[in-house]
Structure 1
Amino acid sequence: MPEHYLGIDTGGTFTDFAYLHKDQLITYKRLSTPAAPEEAILAGIEQLGLVNLCQAGELTIIHGTTVATNAALEGKGVKTAYICNKGLGDILELGRQDRASLYQLMPSKARIALSPEAIFEINVRRSAKGELSEPLTTDRLEDLKTRIEAFGPEAAAINLLHSYLNPTEEMAIADYLGPEIFVSQSSKILPEMGEYERGVATYLNASLGPLVAHYLKRLAAAVAPSQLAIMQSSGLTLAASQAATQSVRLLLSGPAGGLIGTQNVLQAGKIMTFDMGGTSTDVSLIDEDLRVSQSLTLGGLPIPIPAIDIETIGAGGGSIATIDPGGLLQVGPESAGADPGPACYGQGGSKPTVTDANVVLGRLPTGHRLAGDLVLHVDLARAAVSELGAHLNLSMEETALGIILLANERMAEALRRISIQRGYDPTDFSLCCFGGAGGLHLCDLCDLLDIKRALVPAEAGIFSALGMLVARPGRERSQGIHQRREDCSDELIAKHLKDLIKVSRQELAEEGVVETEHQAFLDIRYLGQTQTLSVAYQQDLILACDQFEQQHKALYGHRLDAPTEIVSVRVRVTGAARLTQVDEALSASSGRTKSEGLTDGSITIQKSALAVGQPCPGPMIVIDPHTTIWVAEGWQIQRLATNHLELTRLGDRC
């Protein structure tokens, strides 16, 4: 059994590495290579001296990738045919009638832009009970295939009404199209009711599938015979060979690692997190346990795939500051990325970013190297910020501070959405930051939210990569049943659960995972509602329905005198965690760079110079190998025995 583990998180700006062997932890950060993400990964493996281990098959790699995420957000999937029932070709264009901004005069709605040529209707139909009312004939199949061949797609998405009850026609179409193109069937991707959401998930899986498959094939071949596992949005991992056909489950692959790390490494009760990297910031809330949602939203599109509850905004260290049409300063969502990067990187970037603003304000020591050999150029940062300030009639320092304040407010608003808007009081939580840029904004965000305690975990700069080391292999599967409570039974649910668990265990067995455990859930709603609530199922339908009513009362303040429906059955099957000794390795880790002296009157020290249990007041800059923490005036910082950093506010704010 391999004893060498490597977690890799590929972001839009940096690629992070966490290598663990027994109690030895080695970390590394380098610039990403967006055009070919595997190049940065292979260069990192070489830099860490792991090539021989990799070639000997002794390295287990767990990888979080943004290939699917970026392609989905940028609309850069492959040419895809969308196959549906006759008369339903406009479903993805129409979407649902609800919209986020109800009173906006000119509302914009996220849609999948399909040309009429990409939509292929076929005259076949099953009823809401799964009964065949319009059969699929050979002539219709032949006609469909001829039309699709003339279109020449790389992929096809098949989304037929009520296929979750009987997938026969979808399977027949997939077989008829043959292996020449990548095919996604809605009955396999999401066997649940809701043709629009099912169609979105199936189309994205098809259009992203070839891109993800080609990337993972290249990477798997390069690291063979070592094992390669991929992080899913749900926080569980699956083998790269299986991930190639499940690209829609990888949309929050990278951010999930940090949340898994927070839960397993910090083991704290109430924490809000923000993962600030170079391109974006991901925020989440942990109330004793991670919340796994049954859907996620990406680019405004609802995607009903299990995912750790994360909200992403386009505000990272590389977010570009510009002037909007009204003449006001704005930050993001456009990012300088890894190439050319912020102006201070000295790689040709000329637009001012959040990182440049931090350099101008002296919060990033200019003698400190980022990602190994990346030297910060204060003169280039000053020039970029000054040029923007000239258009705003502001000084360089005022412009830099304005950039920071706007970025902070965008992140604080995201944190309010996941807390206050859901009935949580931010003051009851600690704020935990990770990602390379998070520590520079931690105190400011705490002040905006009136939070008095903050945490910076050990190895915060590569924490998502570290979290992947403790992630469990597993699967989440569901099956729509759509039964009223009085028509449903524990026996029927048990039958569906047995089938779902069997398939999940078979897939895990292919990865070498034999011992598993499972949790079962039911999606329940009141008759006439469109949304469901997921409750744990312990072989007692009556108890589950009672829990649904209690949960509904807690969330919405009332119960309804109406029948309940069991909409779907879900199961989460997991294997054992690969590692349990991460805590010991983190406690032993320490800083590996030299002290930089003083910066603008603020003390600048290495994290390793902080004595355990001895608070140090700000203002000061604390340097960790892959992140920098700005301790503002009115705050103090101390290193804990676990090697995490704790920040506390001194007294009450005025």
Structure 2
Amino acid sequence: MTYQACIDIGGTFTDCLISDGGGEISIFKSPTTPGAFEKGFLNVLKVAAEGYGESFGDFINRVDLIVHGSTVSTNALVERKTVKVGLLLTEGHEDILVLREGPRKGAFQYRLDYPEPYVPRRLTRSVAGRIDARGRELVPLSLDDAREAGRAFRAMGVEAVAVGLLWSVVNPAHELAVKAALEEELPGIPITLSHEINPMPREYKRTIAAAIDASIAPIVRAYVEKLNAALLSEGFSGDLLLANCVGGMMPVPEMMAKPIYSVMSGPTLAPMAALALREEADIIVGDMGGTTFDVSALRDHKIIVTPDGMIHDDSLGIPKVDVRSVGAGGGSIAWVDEGGLLRVGPHSAGARPGPACYDAGGAEPTVTDANVVLGIVDPDYFLGGKMKLRKDLAEKAIAKVADRLGVTIPEAAYAIYTTSNHNMVAAIEEITVREGINPRDSVFVCGGGATAIHMAEMADILELKRYVVPRFMAGLSAFGGLISDIRREDAAVCLTSDAAFDVDAVNATLAKLMTQGAGFLEAAGIAEEDRVYEFVFMGRYEFQSFEIETPFEAPNGTLTAADLPALVEAFHKMHERIYSIRSDTDVVEFTAWKLRAIGLRRGRDQWKEATLPQQQGAPAPKTRRPVYDHAAGGPRELPVYDLATLGADAEISGPALVEAATFTAYLKSGHDGRVDAHGNLVVAVA
């Protein structure tokens, strides 16, 4: 028997899902180890080995594939702990990162300080030379300027360099020549070229992507090298794949070449899991971990990719699966502001010291402490009883909020609980209502260890009709990684419109993308029959400022003039879906074209073969537990069911608790759950 593993490092716990090759999947958890993530990586594998009753040496020798969602690059950006980057731009355009794209802020936010550029002006240099929008050289490149910039960067001690020259996306000759000159002056220093990392129009998006990639390249490279060394020292000889931010996996060499694609990669795995778990057209995914609540959505049963991911005040530059985050995790700290209002987050107790109930030094009241005080979380059955919680310490922490609000400790705990719920509802509405998705017509898939505790009240607020508590909810992102395919996205500029559609130029662009995609899949060892290609164009109405993504079909990677009406109609429908309007008489412009090269992983659907036996008779609760009921003003005895003992089609009506080793689900009155053939709890809301 061989194993496949996915390891997802979260803010509090590191999740590991193991597939045994026969369709059976098991979940394991271990505390995250900030500052040395590779230790937590190995620790959770050792926990898995113990779970299978094997020595770690024997276990790791039988693991033939590990897929991994890393937070290293994301943490470096969020905490502003990146390396010093030098930036080289076209002469006269040194303020690209200062001016950005001139986005409008809130109408009443007139006192905002203008944000600092990602790379300070003192680390920015320019080079003479100019390419125009058609790729023609207007001004010859000055290699002397490039060499002088290299010497200046060396004197300033930069650790990486980003190059962003105008219209390099049409003609990269100048950027390539600059790189050669810089390598002479800065041997061993990584250099990122904007046309390679983000071959799209808009100089800010290309330049910021290059700058971010350069700033994390040494960090990602060091982490992957440490991780590889640690795995090799323990005897691992299988393959390692890394999650990327476009909803798939990349081989290690690909990720090392474009480390920016590791940014925010972990949360993108949750919607991939939902894609496999459910067949509905519109799906909302909420993943509540220890630090944040990540929410994403699937529209028409496809992941939503956004070009506008943000890191602080800067765009990420590259496309990524659209995942929004708010500080509403289990470790989010509750506090009362100067006006006497209760707030939850964004600060978190994290993995160290963690919530007060962990008894690891934390003293601030958190959402997890509130759930323990309310009786929803059993302090004796946390992580299946492997980690005992201290209810007395949770009450002591919550008392700080209770005293400020002038209420009892249970009332304060409930206030924290419901405030956290409303924070998450706001994030859900942001990614659904504003993206053309009606929550009432969608199914919600819960992810993360705490979502099902809060889901019932959120469902009532959003007027959801149904939601799903997956069997592997606490490791939903890891499950997504375990079943995800290898994926890469390439893009190229080709500006045309339906008024004068240049089909030959478009086909030449698609052919170039097909060559790049096929080369990627070939290098990844994907057989011809397992290769899938998805096509997308970036379109806009004439005179609009920004584009939207629109999928389209292109058999064999080519289009004909007869395909133009279908392309235009697809754009009209997508524009109407997102913005509620369409303008059939306006000219539609096509600015860029994308290809998503997907390598289907053999065995990714084996989990579907493992089904539960049919439930015999009505399920019996394993115990009953008092849970605080705000409407009743006190505790109420609720039945507690063990999810592991329930068979297919077992039915449970709320109010009730359903416990698994790694999570608890709280069903309110009017919420009726049924276990499906794979052990997922599907809840219908009356």
Shorter-chain-normalised TM-score: which range?
over 0.9
Per the alignment, residue 455 of structure 1 pairs with 468
Match of 1:551 in 2: 574
Q: Distance in 1 between matches of 2:265 and 2:611?
A: 23
Within the candidate set 562, 568, 593, 2:592 is matched to 568
Query: Cα offset for 1:268?
Result: 3.2
Please state if 1:211 is matched with 2:211: no
Structure 1 counterpart of 2:605: 580
Residue 564 (structure 2) aligned to one of 505, 530, 542 = 542
Q: Deviations over 1:409-456 (max 9, x none)?
A: 011111112222334332212222111011100101001111132210
CA distance in 1, matches of 2:442, 2:226: 43
Cα offset, 1:599, TM superposition:
3.8
Establish whether residue 182 from structure 1 lines up as the match of residue 190 from structure 2.
yes
- The residue matched to 1:334 in structure 2 has which SS? strand
Partner of 1:28, secondary structure, is strand
Shift, 1:562, TM fit: 4.2
**What letter matches 2:318 in structure 1?**
I
Residue pair 2:118, 2:211 contacting (<8 A) in 1 also:
no
**Are the structure 2 counterparts of residues 168 and 25 from structure 1 closer, same or farther at C-alpha, using a change threshold of 3 Å?**
same
User: How do 1:3-152 and structure 2 match up within 5 A?
Assistant: 3-21=2-20, 22-49=22-49, 51-52=56-57, 56=61, 58-107=63-112, 112-152=117-157
Instruction: Provide the rounded CA distance (Å) in 1 between the counterparts of 2:659 and 2:611.
Output: 16
Q: What is aligned with 2:440?
A: 427
Contact 1:320 1:334 in 2 (8 A): yes
- Say yes or no: does 1:332 pair with 2:345: yes
Q: Which residue of structure 1 lines up, in the alignment, with residue 534 of structure 2? A: 519
| Rounded Cα–Cα distance in structure 2 between residues aligned with 1:71 and 1:371 | 33
Shift of 1:487: 5.3
Deviations 1:576-597 (A, max 9, x none): 133221123464899xxx9565
1:533 to 548, 569, 585: 548
Which amino acid counterpart does residue 400 of structure 1 have in structure 2?
Answer: A
Q: 2:309 is paired with a residue of what secondary structure?
A: strand
Decide whether the 8 Å contact of 2:66 with 2:238 is kept in 1: yes
Contact 1:31 1:371 in 2 (8 A): no
Gap regions ≥5 residues in structure 1: none
- The one-letter code of the counterpart of 2:448 is G
Length-normalised TM-score, structure 2? 0.89
Counterpart of 1:375 (choices 375, 382, 388) is 388
1:342 counterpart = 2:355 = yes
In 2, Cα distance between equivalents of 1:328 and 1:571 = 49
Using the alignment, how far apart are the partners of 2:613 and 2:107 within structure 1?
53
User: Residues 282 and 437 of structure 2 are in contact (CA less than 8 Å); yes or no, is this contact kept in structure 1?
Assistant: no
Range moving further from structure 2, 280-289 or 144-153:
280-289
1:614-639: per-residue Cα shift (whole Å, max 9, x none)?
43222222111111111223323232
Distance 1:457 1:589, change over 3 A: farther
Distance of 1:125 and 1:53 partners within structure 2:
60
SS of alignment partner, residue 110 of structure 2: coil
- Asked if structure 2 preserves the Cα contact closer than 8 Å seen for 1:589 and 1:643, the reply is no
Q: 1:353 to 1:588 in 2, by over 3 A?
A: farther
Please name the residue that 1:269 is paired with. 281
Spell out, residue by residue over 1:309-342, the C-alpha distance to the aligned partner (whole angstroms, 9 max, x if none): 2221111111111222433211111111111111
- What do residues 454-489 of structure 1 show as CA deviations (whole Å, max 9, x unaligned)? 210111111110111111112110011223445552
Asked whether the equivalents of residues 522 and 537 of structure 1 are also in contact (C-alpha less than 8 Å), the reply is: no
What is the CA distance between 1:114 and its match in structure 2? 3.1
**Alpha-carbon distance in 1 for matches of 2:369, 2:113:** 32
Residue 323 (structure 2) aligns with: 310
Change (3 A) 1:280 1:573: same
Structure 2 SS opposite 1:569 = strand
Name the stretch that deviates more: 295-304 or 86-95: 295-304
- What is the match of residue 629 of structure 1? 665
Instruction: Judge conservation of contact 1:101–1:107 (CA < 8 Å) in 2.
Output: no
**Partner deviation per Cα, 1:517-567 (whole Å, 9 max, x = no partner):** 212222222332221133314214513234323433454413164433321
Aligned equivalents of 1:589 and 1:8: distance in 2?
31
- Paired with 2:500 and 2:432, the residues of 1 have a C-alpha distance of 38
Aligned counterpart for 2:404 among listed residues 391, 406, 417: 391
Q: Structure 1 stretch 37-46 or stretch 302-311: which is displaced more? A: 302-311
- CA offset digits 1:137-194 (Å, max 9, x no partner): 3322221111111111111111111110111121122222224112111000111110
Q: How many residues align?
A: 646
Is structure 2 residue 404 aligned with structure 1 residue 412? Answer: no
Alignment CA distance shift 1:372-1:268 (3 Å): farther
Tell me the amino acid that sits aligned with residue 45 of structure 1.
L
Contact kept in structure 1, 2:494 and 2:592, CA below 8 Å = yes
Q: Distance in 2 between matches of 1:108 and 1:161?
A: 28
Contact 2:3 / 2:62 at 8 angstroms: preserved in 1?
Answer: no
Whether contact under 8 Å (1:117, 1:151) holds in the other structure is no
> TM-score of the superposition, structure 1-length normalised?
0.93
How has the CA–CA distance of structure 1 residues 105 and 116 changed in structure 2, closer, same or farther, with 3 Å as cutoff?
A: closer
Residue 71 of structure 1: how far off its partner (Å): 1.5
Q: Deviations over 1:253-272 (max 9, x none)?
A: 11121111111123333322
Change (3 A) 1:454 1:104: same
1:64 Cα shift? 0.8
Q: Which residue of 2 aligns with 1:616?
A: 652
CA RMSD of aligned residues (A): 2.4
Which of 481, 491, 496 lines up with 2:509 in the alignment? 496
- Tell me: CA distance 1:549–1:265, structure 2 relative to 1, closer, same or farther (3 Å): closer
Deviations 1:227-282 (A, max 9, x none): 11011111121012221232221222111211111111233333222111111111
Bigger mean CA deviation after superposition, 396-405 or 345-354: 396-405
1:300 Cα deviation from its structure 2 partner: 4.5
Aligned pair partner of 2:680 in 629, 644, 649: 644
More deviation, 34-43/581-590:
581-590
How far apart in 2 are the matches of 1:612 and 1:26?
18
Structure 1 distance, partners of 2:119, 2:684, is: 52
Change in 2 beyond 3 A, CA 1:612/1:410: same
| Cα gap change, 1:197 to 1:587, in 2 (>3 Å) | farther
Determine whether 1:260 maps to 2:272.
Answer: yes
Q: Say whether 1:164 aligns with 2:179.
A: no
Whole-angstrom CA distance in 1 between matches of 2:222 and 2:614:
36
Matched residue type, 2:70 = T
Percent of residue pairs identical: 29
Greater CA deviation, 162-171 or 386-395? 386-395
Over 3 Å counting, the alpha-carbon distance change for 1:511 and 1:489 in structure 2 is same
Asked whether the 8 Å contact 2:194–2:206 carries over to 1, the reply is yes
Give the 3 Å change call, closer, same or farther, for CA 267–452 of structure 1 in structure 2.
closer
- Counterpart CA distance in 1 for 2:222 and 2:385 is 29
Residue identity opposite 1:104 in structure 2: Q
SS of 1:374 mapped into structure 2 = coil
CA contact (8 A) 1:459 1:624 kept: no
Q: More deviation in 274-283 or 389-398?
A: 389-398
Q: Secondary structure at the match of 1:249?
A: helix
